[in-house]
Copies of this chain bind each other. A is one copy, B any other.
Amino acid sequence: MNETRRDHDLLSIGVFAREAKLTQKALRLYDALGLLTPARTDPDSGYRSYDRAQLHRAKLIALLRRLDMPLTRIAEVLDLRGVDAADAIGAYWREVERDTLVRRRLVQYLETYLSGKGDHMYEIEVREVPEQHVLSLRRALRVHDLEDFIVRTTGDLYAMIARAGLRASRTSLAIYHGRVDEDNDGPVEICVGFEPGGAELPTPGGDVVVKMLPAHREAYTTITKAQTEFPGILGAYDAVGRYVHEHGLTCNDASREVYFTTAAETQDDDPFCDVAQPVA
Asked whether B85 lies within 8 Å of A107 as measured between CB atoms, the reply is no
Q: How many monomers of this chain does the complex have?
A: 2
Asked whether A86 lies within 8 Å of B103 as measured between CB atoms, the reply is no
Range for the number of chain A residues in contact with chain B: 35 or more
Kindly supply a per-residue 1/0 record for chain A positions 76-91, scoring 1 wherever the CB is within 8 Å of any chain B CB and 0 otherwise.
0000001101110110
In chain A, positions 76-118 with a C-beta closer than 8 Å to chain B are 82-83, 85-87, 89-90, 93, 96-97, 100, 103-104, 106-107, 110-112, 114-116
Asked whether A103 lies within 8 Å of B250 as measured between CB atoms, the reply is no
Is chain A's binding surface mostly helix, strand, loop or mixed? Answer: helix
Asked whether B1 lies within 8 Å of A83 as measured between CB atoms, the reply is no
- A263 adjacent to chain B (CB < 8 Å): no
Asked whether B114 lies within 8 Å of A83 as measured between CB atoms, the reply is yes
CB-defined contacts of A68 to chain B, threshold 8 Å: 103
- A251 adjacent to chain B (CB < 8 Å): yes
Closest B residue to A116 by CB, please name it. Answer: B82
Q: Which of B86, B96, B111 is in CB contact (< 8 Å) with A114?
A: B86
Q: Which residues of A contact B (CB under 8 A)?
A: 1, 4, 21, 60, 63-64, 66-68, 82-83, 85-87, 89-90, 93, 96-97, 100, 103-104, 106-107, 110-112, 114-116, 183, 245, 250-252
Closest CB pairs A-B (n = 4): A86-B115, A86-B114, A86-B111, A83-B115
